[in-house]
Structure 1
Amino acid sequence: MTTQPSRRRFLTQSAGLAVLAAAGVTLPAGAARAAPASAGRLPAKLKTSLNAFSFNTAMTRGRDGNGPDMTLMDVLDFCAQQDFEAIDPTGYYFPGYPHVPTDAYLADFKRKAFDLGLEISGTGIRNNFATADATKRAADVELAKRWIEAAAKMGAPVIRLFAGQQEAGVNREDIYGWMAEDLHTCAEFGQQHGVVVGVQNHNDFVKNAAQTIKLVKRVDHAWLGVILDTGNFRDNPYPDIAAVLPYTVNFQLKESPYGKDSDVLIDLDRFVQILVDAGYRGYVPIETLTPEGTNPDMRVVIPRFMTRVRRAFARVG
């Protein structure tokens, strides 16, 4: 097995340890180690991005329920208008998903993003590596491989995968075993194509920092990390965010740390301080969700949340 990548190792060995202590996370004896000579030389660098799932309703059933009224190309225009630095185009919204789009479409998408001054911060698919059905897992590994190739073609540095939902009566340790094997296979393929594989804490098989870190350590591959979903560490969000940060390769920053139906807003100053103290350098894509029974205008909701995020970046970062 390969070692952790340099950024995760850097974070773990230096500022990340201070963040965990400040957040109340207890490290086992012997966990601390000498920081490398480069520790602390680079300040945090936080780049804005929009996860396309924010426009899920508009790109599926539309605000009037009669079909899509936006495409991914429209989301590119929106991101440019709102001065995002990047876009995270979820795979579901590409033509023909779960099949990968044509090379021509990927090239057109990549060129339009370039013309608008936008980077592509990542992409993502649906998969389930928690199922006991080995045939289904194998099919999802192949799905991930096809989309890793698509990510490479459009210049997305990270692809987001799920762990999956645990089935009743299936032993968790058995799931960890085959899930780690499948994710390792994906990470190997990702390395071949220059695409980092990130597994998201999606409130499914992994619900907290300990479970997430255990999975990453079982995979033990330099091209496998975590897509840190700030809305799905619901029992102890801020300490869990700090604990998982050394393994984090991208984000989904949600409006609430307690799920889409919660009225409790994330403490953005506290969140950004965790990132700054750890020296995180990378994208922080936001993802706004639609609470059950509502149909808000996301063209209003997204800029409102992004304004809060940018103010926190300015105050803290």
Structure 2
Amino acid sequence: MNTSSTRRTFLTQAALLPLFVAGGVSPAFAAFTRPRRVGGSHLRTSLNAFSFLELLNANAKDPTQGIDLFGVCDFCAKTGFDAVDLTGYFFPGYPLAPEDSYLYRLKRHAFNLGLGISGTGVRNDFVAADPAIRAEGVARLKTWIEVAAKLGAPTVRAFADSQSPFKNWQQAAQNAPRETVENWLADALRECAEHAKKYGVIIAVQNHGDFINTGAQHLSLLQRVDHEACAALVDTGKYLTADPYADIALVAPYAVNWQIKETTGSATHTPKTDMTKLVGIIRRSGYRGYVPIETLAMGRPGYDPSIETTKMLAELRAGLAATESITP
């Protein structure tokens, strides 16, 4: 047994215990299985295609404008990313599955460029009181689990929050108690995870600043799901607390994918992400895998994703270099 490592883990959990208590969540996460990892931290860069939202939407309306997913892959290769995260919204025919011929052509294109495909993602609403809305989300996730398997993507991002036309989870849930809503979420995610297990895919549940805006809430949901094919996607800009880095540290050991944002609140007035601090937390958690970045327009005039993602990649690389000696 590595005594120092065990002591460090104990001290970390003890320091974060107040988060569970403050969030009204049971701290009994010892039985909550985290991904098994060996060999220390190993991180690879990726870009979430959502960074090119406006250009991808323009291309969907007029193929002579903007950029398509093949172009995003080209950009990633030219810029030096290790992988690309291909958001489902930008595939032809979404929310339906694209033709297999399209998927395999895109998969081969990424492979020829030396890019991994770190994940994909869809929209779903599992906090809605209407069972039909939740069922629609389950069917969509199951469809895109199969799409992910064909692409070779290890994860499919799922939301744990309300979607349009609802403004927040309380409205979507018609003011049902939080525990009731968490049960709706857990039941839907567990059904999707069971389907994902058949295809070797993992449901990556994203915090999005609505039903889940703390690390304790994130883990509470995952514990209630309690399925090996369901884990966390950590959105570093959507833990709406006084110290989001503490929430990130709490959930990082259970992460299978990330969305690293420019700021800790996904808005220009919120603090800029301290990349060295963030990557240090990720390394200490023992996480191995892709760390996708995602930039957003955030109301900035003249927002250019090519410029902003390149700048952010340089910051991420600096953070990776500065923390290289950190071990779990």
Determine whether 1:227 maps to 2:227. no
Higher mean alpha-carbon deviation, 13-22 vs 75-84, is at 13-22
Aligned partner of 2:114 among 89, 102, 117: 117
Q: 1:158 to 1:18 in 2, by over 3 A?
A: farther
Determine whether 1:265 maps to 2:276. no
User: Contact 1:15/1:278 (CA < 8 Å) preserved in 2?
Assistant: no
Aligned partner of 2:306 among 299, 303, 312: 299
Shift of 1:280: 1.2
Report the residue type matching 1:215 in the other structure. L
1:144-223 paired onto structure 2 within 5 Å: 144-165=141-162, 166-168=169-171, 169-223=175-229
Deviations 1:37-79 (A, max 9, x none): xx996220011000000000111137xx998410000000000
Q: 1:13 to 1:75 in 2, by over 3 A?
A: farther
Shift of 1:114: 0.4
What is the distance in 2 between the residues matched to 1:126 and 1:181? 17
User: 1:3 maps to what in 2?
Assistant: none
Aligned partner of 1:52 among 49, 53, 73: 49
Q: Specify the SS of the correspondent of 1:225.
A: strand
What is the distance in 1 between the residues matched to 2:81 and 2:208? 24
Report the residue type matching 1:289 in the other structure. L
Give the TM-score normalised by the residue count of structure 1: 0.88
Give the TM-score normalised by the residue count of structure 2: 0.85
Determine whether 1:281 maps to 2:266. no
1:23-172 paired onto structure 2 within 5 Å: 42-61=39-58, 68-165=65-162, 166-168=169-171, 169-172=175-178
Aligned partner of 1:242 among 239, 249, 265: 249
What is the distance in 1 between the residues matched to 2:84 and 2:28? 40
Moved over 6 A (4+): 12-15, 26-33
Can you give the 5+ residue segments of structure 2 that lack an aligned partner in the other structure? 21-25, 163-168
User: Contact 1:16/1:278 (CA < 8 Å) preserved in 2?
Assistant: no
User: Contact 1:19/1:274 (CA < 8 Å) preserved in 2?
Assistant: no
Deviations 1:238-279 (A, max 9, x none): 000011112211000001011223352111111111112222
What is the distance in 1 between the residues matched to 2:204 and 2:309? 24
Deviations 1:61-116 (A, max 9, x none): 37xx9984100000000000011100000000101111111000000000000000
Q: 1:177 to 1:70 in 2, by over 3 A?
A: same
Bigger RCO (CA 8 Å, 6+ sep): 1
What is the distance in 1 between the residues matched to 2:48 and 2:287? 19
Can you give the 5+ residue segments of structure 1 that lack an aligned partner in the other structure? 1-11, 34-38
What is the distance in 1 between the residues matched to 2:19 and 2:255? 19
User: Contact 2:264/2:270 (CA < 8 Å) preserved in 1?
Assistant: no
What is the distance in 2 between the residues matched to 1:305 and 1:212? 26
What is the distance in 2 between the residues matched to 1:294 and 1:283? 30
Q: Specify the SS of the correspondent of 2:301.
A: coil
What is the distance in 1 between the residues matched to 2:6 and 2:129? 37
What is the distance in 1 between the residues matched to 2:291 and 2:236? 11
User: Contact 1:20/1:239 (CA < 8 Å) preserved in 2?
Assistant: no
User: Contact 2:280/2:323 (CA < 8 Å) preserved in 1?
Assistant: yes
Q: 1:120 to 1:14 in 2, by over 3 A?
A: farther
User: 2:317 maps to what in 1?
Assistant: 310
Q: 1:272 to 1:171 in 2, by over 3 A?
A: same
Q: Specify the SS of the correspondent of 2:170.
A: coil
Shift of 1:23: 6.4
